[in-house]
Structure formats: C-alpha cells, structure tokens
C-alpha cells in the first residue's frame, strides 16, 4: 500500500505577524491553496491509495466556507484514494467545526476524540484527534493492535515525550509506549519541523507550508509504501518559496541612505522570502516603516532592528548635561550589577534613556 502523509497546513492562517507588507497574508494563503493542489495532483498522478492528514488542516478561527469547498472539491478529484483526517488543536472537532457541519466527499473519514480502528483489506488505520483546543488525556495506552498480521497505521496530532506543562496539554505521547505498540507507521502532526529519517517509522512531516521565519528550510510531504510489512519512505518538498534570515551588521554604516544601498546590494534568491535582521551599533536613528517606502526588493518582507545605540557611556558621564548626569548614574548601577540578567535590564534602561535625552 502507498500513502501520502501531511500535517499542519493551517489553511486560511492570517499571517499577521509575518510581514509588514500589505496584502502579504492574502498572497501567502493563495500559496497554501496552490501547495495543497500540488499534493492532490501528485496523489492523482501516482495512484496513491491512502492520504493521511494529521491535524491542523485549517485554522478554525479564520477558515472560510469557500476554502472548505475548495478542499472538498480537490478530494473529489481523487475518488479512489481513502482520506483520513485527525483533527488537531487548531482545527478541533468542536460543535461548530466544519468537520461536524459540512458534507464531506464519501472518500473522507474524520476521526473523533475516541480511538477508532478502520478496517481495510490490507491495512487497519487507527486514529484519534482533538475535540477541543487542548487534549490533556494520554490515550496511547488504550490502543491495542488487534491484528498484527495486517499493516497497522496510527494517525494522530500531538507531542512526542511532552515534558513541559504546555506540551502535556497537546496530546503528549510517550515514545517508549508508542514504540511498544509496534505500528508499521505512525503519522503525526503538531510539530512544524520535520523529524524525517529514511528508516524512521514515527514521523512528523512538518508544516506543509512554512508559517513563519521560525520554520526555515524546505517543507512538504512524506510518501510511504509498505510491502510485506517492509516500509520505505521519502520526503518530497512541495513548497517553492522558502524563508531565510539575513543578518546585516550596520556598525560601519553612517546614514539611512547608505543602509538602503547595503540592503539593495544583498544577493537574493528567486524562490525565497527574506527577513533582514539589523545588528551592531547604530550611528543614526532607524525607522523601519520608513525603510519600506524605498524601492527595496519585494522578496524582503520583514526588517527587524536589533541594533544598539553607538555611544560611549564613560565619555557621556563626564558631561555636565542632563544626559551626562543620567549616564553617570547608570554607569554606577552598571558597575554594581551582580548577575547577567540584571546587567541586561540596566543596559536596556540606558538605551531607552539615551534615546529619550537625544
């Protein structure tokens, strides 16, 4: 049997914090739809028998009826593929969920919060999902494979070995117990970074389309085939646009005009979107929103200012001005710091104070 496994597509995500450019969210949502269509076309062209979607297919808070119609119409294009969806914490099976209130195509099965086994001729599919935005109960202990002669697959959305309190609220699954269950393949969702390895059978495919700059690198899907209980897999990149961060030290830059020139000199790749992180000591004030008004490359979607003012505190402390008195006081406090955390707080206070007194 052959399958495709995806998770965490987050269709209709707002992308509000990803870019300062207008309409970027709308563009990115269109790219999500395009990526999903690519997956459906791949399934169609390669006669894939099973399609596993391990949670967070869409954003419950923002999903539109038209997007659900789009998803279901694509499902209709692969009528011979059995589609299994396990709801996640962003698309839980709550009362007003589209999983509850939409007539899905007859090749689609949506798991509930109770562990369920779906029998097929050659494979048994086990699954369970979220019926709320949290799933605190560990359910893996309740699963027992009924027919070990068949191929057995588990689909769920959760956190492997979730130790922290927050992780335990999102279907924490002890890996040791999961391994003891001896599934032929475990299709997971929730973690946006893939853990894919060729010989691994407990897989996070990662987010299908990158949701932000904390999800750098390639994204896509896992294709698998199981013959005579032997599993082979491969990771297939889907998204053509990747995110990348570039650090630009501006210590030697003396004007806004020179900064814009330096940004425009950066070599950018065609299929990437960029965040420029400004670091070092600044010799002039930087207004990020003002920088966007200039003719910067459209692939630069965000600029982050992590610079510090370029000042000499010892020299300022000798001045007989209000700024000098402030610098002298803060220098004394800085010299009395006993911890690194305390030093960082004082340094931030100095930065704010010097800016105000300029």
Query: Quick one: CA dihedral 347, 352, 356, 358, positive or negative?
Result: positive
pLDDT per residue, tens digit, the chain (358 aa), is 999 999 999 999 998 777 777 778 888 899 999 999 999 999 999 999 999 999 999 999 999 999 999 999 999 999 999 999 999 999 999 999 999 999 999 999 999 999 999 999 999 999 999 999 999 888 888 899 999 999 999 999 999 987 566 667 888 899 999 999 999 999 999 999 999 998 899 999 999 998 888 888 889 999 999 999 999 999 999 877 888 999 999 999 999 999 999 999 999 998 888 999 999 988 888 888 888 888 888 889 899 999 887 877 888 888 888 888 988 888 898 888 888 888 888 888 887 887 777 6
Backbone region of residue 332 per phi and psi (left: phi > 0; alpha: psi in -120 to 50; beta: other values) = alpha
3-state secondary structure of 332: helix
Question: Rounded to two decimals, what is the model's pTM?
Answer: 0.82
- Identify whether the C-beta of residue 293 lies closer than 8 Å to the C-beta of residue 260: no
3-state secondary structure of 163: coil
CB burial of residue 180 (10 Å; 0-12, 13-18, 19+):
exposed
């Amino acid at each position: 049997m052959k399958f495709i496994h995806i998770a965490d597509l987050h269709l209709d995500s707002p992308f509000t914090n990803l870019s300062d450019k207008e309409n970027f969210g709308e563009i990115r949502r269109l790219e999500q739809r395009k990526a999903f269509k690519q997956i459906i076309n791949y399934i169609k062209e390669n006669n894939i028998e099973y399609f596993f979607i391990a949670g967070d297919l869409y954003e419950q808070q923002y999903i539109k009826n038209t997007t659900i119609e789009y998803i279901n119409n694509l499902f209709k294009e692969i009528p011979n593929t059995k589609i299994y969806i396990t709801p996640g914490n962003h698309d839980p099976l709550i009362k007003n969920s589209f999983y509850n209130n939409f007539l899905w195509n007859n090749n689609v099965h949506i798991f509930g919060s109770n562990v369920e086994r779906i029998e097929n001729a050659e494979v048994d599919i086990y699954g369970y999902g979220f019926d709320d935005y949290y799933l605190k109960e560990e359910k893996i202990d309740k699963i027992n494979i009924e027919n070990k002669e068949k191929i057995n697959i588990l689909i769920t959305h959760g956190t492997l070995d979730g130790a922290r309190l927050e992780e335990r609220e999102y279907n924490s699954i002890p890996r040791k117990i999961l391994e003891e269950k001896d599934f032929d393949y475990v299709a997971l969702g929730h973690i946006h970074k893939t853990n894919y390895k060729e010989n691994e059978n407990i897989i996070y495919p990662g987010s299908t389309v990158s949701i932000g700059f904390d999800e750098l690198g390639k994204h896509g899907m896992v294709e698998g085939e199981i013959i005579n209980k032997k599993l082979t897999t491969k990771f297939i990149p889907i998204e053509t646009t990747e995110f990348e961060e570039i650090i630009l030290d501006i210590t030697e830059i003396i004007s806004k005009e020179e900064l814009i020139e330096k940004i425009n000199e950066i070599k950018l790749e065609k299929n990437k979107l960029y965040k420029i992180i400004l670091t070092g000591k600044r010799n002039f004030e930087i207004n990020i929103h003002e920088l966007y008004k200039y003719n910067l490359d459209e692939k630069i979607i965000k600029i982050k200012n992590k610079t510090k003012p370029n000042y000499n505190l010892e020299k300022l402390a000798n001045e007989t001005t209000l700024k000098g008195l402030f610098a002298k006081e803060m220098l004394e406090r800085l010299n009395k710091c006993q911890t690194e955390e305390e030093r960082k707080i004082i340094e931030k206070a100095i930065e704010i104070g010097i800016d105000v007194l300029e």
